[in-house]
C-alpha cells in the first residue's frame, strides 16, 4: 500500500505493510486513488506531530530492504541509537562511532539513499565545515534542523 502526507517541506510517500514501515520518501505530487493502512495512518500522525514540534522521537516499527548492506544498516542504527532530536553529528564522527573510521564518504552515500526519510534522521548528519548534502535539497535539510533547534528550547 501507499499513502501520502503533505508536510511543510513537501509531499511524502509512505509505504508500509500491516506490521512495518518500508519506505518514506519525498515526491513531487501524490498519485490519486490511495488508501492508507493503519500503520501508514500512524506514520502520518507522527509526522504531523513532528512538524508541529510535538514529537521528538518516532515510535514506528520499520524494516530495511534485504538489499541494504550490513554497513548501511550499521550506519542507520548508529545514527538512530546515538543522535537525538536537535543534535547534529558530522559524517566523520558517525563513521568513527559506527566502527568505520575514515569512511565519511561512504556514510554520505548511505545518507543519500536513506529509505525512511526524517524517521531515520539523516538530516542530522552534517559536514565538518558546512551542512553537507541532502537528497531532498539543502533548504529542506536546513528547515528540519531549524525545526528541531527551535523546539528544544
Catalytic residue selected from 44, 111, 119, 122: 122
Q: Which residue reads 545514527 in cell numbers? A: 79
> For domain 70-152, is the CATH number 3.40.50.300?
no
pLDDT, tens digit (0-9, with 9 covering 90-100), for 66-119: 889 999 999 999 999 999 999 999 999 999 999 999 999 999 999 999 999 999
pLDDT for 153 equals 63
Domains of the chain, by residue range, sit at: 3-51, 70-152
Q: Is 122 a catalytic residue?
A: yes
pLDDT, tens digit (0-9, with 9 covering 90-100), for 39-72: 999 999 999 999 999 999 999 999 988 889 999 9
Closest CA relative to residue 87, chosen from 56, 133, 54, 51 = 56
Closest CA relative to residue 75, chosen from 46, 100, 45 = 100
Predicted structure pTM score: 0.93
State the cell numbers at 47. Answer: 509526522
Amino acid at each position: 500500500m501507499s499513502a501520502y502526507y503533505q508536510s511543510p517541506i513537501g509531499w511524502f510517500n509512505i509505504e508500509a505493510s500491516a506490521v512495518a514501515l518500508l519506505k518514506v520518501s519525498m515526491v513531487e505530487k501524490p498519485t490519486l486513488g490511495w488508501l492508507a493502512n493503519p500503520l501508514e495512518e500512524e506514520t502520518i500522525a507522527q509526522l504531523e506531530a513532528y512538524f508541529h514540534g510535538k514529537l521528538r522521537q518516532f515510535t514506528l516499527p520499520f524494516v530495511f530492504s534485504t538489499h541494504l548492506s550490513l554497513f548501511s544498516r550499521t550506519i542507520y542504527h548508529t545514527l538512530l541509537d546515538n543522535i537525538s532530536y536537535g543534535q547534529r553529528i558530522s559524517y566523520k564522527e558517525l563513521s568513527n562511532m559506527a566502527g568505520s573510521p575514515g569512511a565519511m564518504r561512504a556514510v554520505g552515500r548511505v545518507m543519500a539513499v536513506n529509505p525512511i526519510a526524517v524517521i531515520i534522521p539523516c538530516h542530522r548528519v552534517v559536514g565538518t565545515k558546512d551542512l553537507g548534502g541532502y537528497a531532498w535539497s539543502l533548504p529542506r535539510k536546513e528547515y528540519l534542523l531549524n525545526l528541531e533547534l527551535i523546539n528544544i528550547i
